[in-house]
Copies of this chain bind each other. A is one copy, B any other.
Amino acid sequence: MGRRSTAKEVAEAAGVSKWTVIRAFTPGASIAEASREKVMEAARRLNYSPNLLARSLATNLTRQVAAFVDDFANPHKLPFLATLTEILQSEGLVVTLININRHFDHVHALLNADQRQVDAVVLCGTAFRDETLQDKRLGPGTPPTFVLARDSQIDGVPAITCDVETAMAEICDYLAAKPYRRPGFMSGPRTLSTALGRQRLFSDFWRNRGVPAIPDIPAADYSIGAGAAAMRAYLAATPADQRLDLLMCENDVLAFGAMDVIRGEFHLRVPEDIAVAGFDNTTFAASPAYDLTSYEQPIEAMVRTVADMILDRAEKRTVYLKGRLVPRRSA
């Protein structure tokens, strides 16, 4: 029953050659108006539309972009995916969502993307070591690759990310104007944490202000549970008079976990006892339940930049875009 009809079939129905059919479906092609109408009529009757697969094989362009994601626990991925798909779709590209996990790592996924001939690969804040992208199994022919929402030092792999220097300066200036004296930082997994560069900038800022030691509270991963566990361990191990009074978290999700424990388990107040700040300005940061001071990444600008690079409308190079501080009650 429902087989797709082909240009050849339409050609027969319209009494022309199949190339004329193709032309009728090619925007700039030179074709007589009469022929075009005949073709379109037949096409409508046969319910014809071009087979994009065959087109891709012939043009060497799939108009498909692979987006790698390895952290589905973070609700912050959603706005990124929403924006990425929307903007790329508006350019006629489609996004294939690749779940990077134990069974399907970066090398695997890159190889697969190459085999499927995608036009580009976008690493959406995934955690990888630089060596990974230089694996020998990856030929020099792999698709153009971009790193979104984290830094990268690999050349040939542009990073499109939030300008974290400005961001942390803004955040720190804002916090330093308040009476907090013992700042601490909650970080995520080392690989990604380093690539984000937030911790170093935070620590440097306070060190320059004469704060001797800035405690690091390491979370196992970027999830509410991990943030909660890290905070629980810290509070349990630290005498009340030695605790920090300001906790900067690498992102909102960690901050949520920390706040849950601070308030729910240790019955301390935010911000009076411990102030908390996050990063990403997740939806829930705005909720009165958290009211979390956070920092909004310029998602749309970042995605537009990636799109421009993918479509060769912009030079492929690392770019830092400015975000926006969103002050709230938590700090």
Contact = CB atoms under 8 A, between A and B. Distances in A.
A86 B101 contact: yes
A81 B72 contact: yes
B50 A53 contact: no
A117 B94 CA distance: 13
Interface in A85-116: 85-86, 89-90, 94-99, 101, 103-104, 111-112, 114-116
Contacts of A140: 1-2
A238 interface: no
Nearest to A288: B264
Interface stretch (A12-20, A183-191, A205-213, A255-263): A255-263
Contacts of A85: 97-99
A141 B51 CA distance: 13
A49 B89 contact: no
Contacts of A78: 72-73, 75, 77-78
Given A1-B141, A224-B287, A97 B99 contact: no
A32 interface: no
A260 B287 contact: yes
A194 to B, nearest CB: 25
Interface stretch (A54-62, A174-182, A310-318): A54-62
A183 to B, nearest CB: 23
B283 A263 contact: no
Contacts of A320: none
A197 B111 CA distance: 44
Interface string A192-236: 000000000000000000000000000000001000000000000
B49 A111 contact: yes
Given A53-B57, A79-B72, A112-B94, A263 B288 contact: yes
Given A49-B115, A51-B117, 19 more contacts: A2-B140, A2-B142, A3-B141, A49-B114, A50-B115, A51-B115, A73-B78, A77-B78, A82-B99, A85-B97, A85-B98, A85-B99, A86-B99, A86-B101, A89-B99, A94-B96, A260-B288, A264-B288, A265-B288
19 contacts: A2-B140, A51-B117, A52-B115, A53-B57, A53-B62, A73-B78, A75-B283, A78-B78, A81-B81, A85-B98, A86-B99, A86-B104, A89-B99, A90-B103, A90-B104, A94-B96, A264-B289, A284-B284, A287-B289
Interface of A: 1-4, 47, 49-54, 56-57, 62, 64, 67, 72-73, 75, 77-79, 81-82, 85-86, 89-90, 94-99, 101, 103-104, 111-112, 114-117, 139-142, 224, 256, 259-260, 263-265, 283-284, 286-290
